[in-house]
Amino acid sequence: MSRKTLNIGLFGFGCVGFGLYEVLQKTPGLKANIKNICVKNPDKKREIGSENFTFNADDLLNNPEINVIVELIDDADAAFEITKRALKSGKAVVSANKKMVAEHFGELLQLQRENNVPLLYEAACCASMPIIRNLEEYYDNDLLDSIQGIVNGSTNYILTKTSRDNISYDEALKQAQDAGYAESNPILDTGGFDAKYKLLILLAHSFGYIAKPDDLLNIGINNLGGVELKYAREKGLKIKLVAQAFKQNDGTVGAFVLPKFVSPEDRLYNVDDVFNGVVTKTSFADEQFFVGRGAGAHPTASAVLSDISALTYDYRYEY
């Protein structure tokens, strides 16, 4: 198979951006190189030399040599502007921004069609676990009945630390932040919003159902009290923040994010720490279980790398 050479314009050089830079250094066989990196803060000390950096988005978006934009910034609105401009100028986009994808699914789909360029975002959902491409390809003809899982690494880390290791909620959250797992506004994790954005992406790729964040209920772990933790401990259960979507009897799809008591028989019971786990049920394959690291620099960068690699053979989602 002949593969394209990719010249990447990278937006963002935080935890995942630097992770991607490191991962690309270790994959010399891939025909992809970072041409320029656009960052926001000129005063921040960077791990690599300054010749690659710019503070002007136009240097990437107007550069005809750059054929792929990799967008790894935190701000979903800014990410949407960058993605729109990139697609309109015929550049493929790889993004890890679940909020942007979940909020603008319809517009992003239209832009891809109008401009005939792909947007890939495996890293936006469950980091290292290749769930989107599996939903797209493997289950193409096998009807999905339900999908449920732990899709947020930070809250799973906090729940594991508070129940198994007796660490306080605040200390566990701080550890998740220090490890680079948590969003810069951690209420997105603890309030179940991040899990909801990921569920919206899963819904689109599993059931072809495009909804908006306000359409789905999310209850996070931030209001759980000692009572629930004590109950779980006494009964040999664990509390997990579970995102689920399932076909209802009338043919519609139900979906929500809620904390749930899970028993040792449940596949999600042993998904601890920063790991994510997803269980699918389909007509023919029956039950399948995916597991992998749900946050962190290299695990997230591995999904971005996989999308970059997929672009070298012009892969695109079919929707």
Q: How far apart are CA 319 and CA 88, in angstroms?
A: 19
Binding span for ligand HSE by CB under 6 A among 107-115, 148-156, 162-170, 202-210: 148-156
Q: How far apart are CA 129 and CA 119, in angstroms?
A: 18
Q: Does 266 bind ligand HSE (CB under 6 A)?
A: no
Q: Does 152 bind ligand HSE (CB under 6 A)?
A: yes
Distances in Å between the alpha carbon of 259 and those of 84, 294, 299? 35, 17, 25
Q: Which of 303, 275, 300 lies closest to 289 in space, CA to CA?
A: 275
Q: Is 198 a catalytic residue?
A: yes
- Select 24 or 101, whichever has its Cβ closest to ligand HSE: 101
Minimum distance of ligand HSE from residue 68's CB (angstroms): 21
The count of chain residues that interact with ligand HSE, using the rule CB under 6 A, is: 11
Minimum distance of ligand HSE from residue 199's CB (angstroms): 12
Q: Does 118 bind ligand HSE (CB under 6 A)?
A: no
Q: How far apart are CA 211 and CA 246, in angstroms?
A: 14
Binding span for ligand HSE by CB under 6 A among 52-60, 147-155, 250-258, 259-267: 147-155
Minimum distance of ligand HSE from residue 125's CB (angstroms): 8
Q: Does 181 bind ligand HSE (CB under 6 A)?
A: yes
Q: How far apart are CA 101 and CA 313, in angstroms?
A: 23
The footprint of ligand HSE on residues 191-210 (CB under 6 A) is 194
In contact, 229 and 201? CB cutoff 8 Å: no
Pairing of strands 119-120, 92-95: parallel
- Select 6 or 135, whichever has its Cβ closest to ligand HSE: 135
Residue 140 DSSP SS3: coil
Binding span for ligand HSE by CB under 6 A among 49-57, 78-86, 151-159, 165-173: 151-159
Query: Which residue in 10, 101, 159, 182 binds ligand HSE (CB under 6 A)?
Result: 182
Residue 251: CB atoms within 10 A of its CB come to: 6
Distances in Å between the alpha carbon of 297 and those of 78, 183, 234, 239? 21, 13, 36, 26
The footprint of ligand HSE on residues 23-82 (CB under 6 A) is none
Query: Which residue in 9, 12, 19, 153 binds ligand HSE (CB under 6 A)?
Result: 153
Q: Minimal CB distance to ligand HSE: which residue?
A: 154
CA 154 to chain centre: 13
Q: Which of 8, 6, 20, 11 lies closest to 56 in space, CA to CA?
A: 11
Minimum distance of ligand HSE from residue 193's CB (angstroms): 10
Q: Does 295 bind ligand HSE (CB under 6 A)?
A: yes
Binding span for ligand HSE by CB under 6 A among 81-89, 140-148, 182-190, 200-208: 182-190
Catalytic residue among 91, 198, 238, 240: 198
Query: Which residue in 97, 294, 307, 308 binds ligand HSE (CB under 6 A)?
Result: 294
DSSP per residue over 237-306, as a string?
-EEEEEEEEEE-TTS-EEEEEEEEEE-TTSGGGG--TTEEEEEEEETTTEEEEEEEE-SSHHHHHHHHHH
Spatial strand order of the sheet with 68-71 comes to 53-54, 32-38, 6-11, 68-71, 92-95, 119-120
**What is the set of active-site residues?**
198
List residues near ligand HSE by CB under 6 A.
Answer: 127, 152-154, 181-183, 189, 194, 294-295
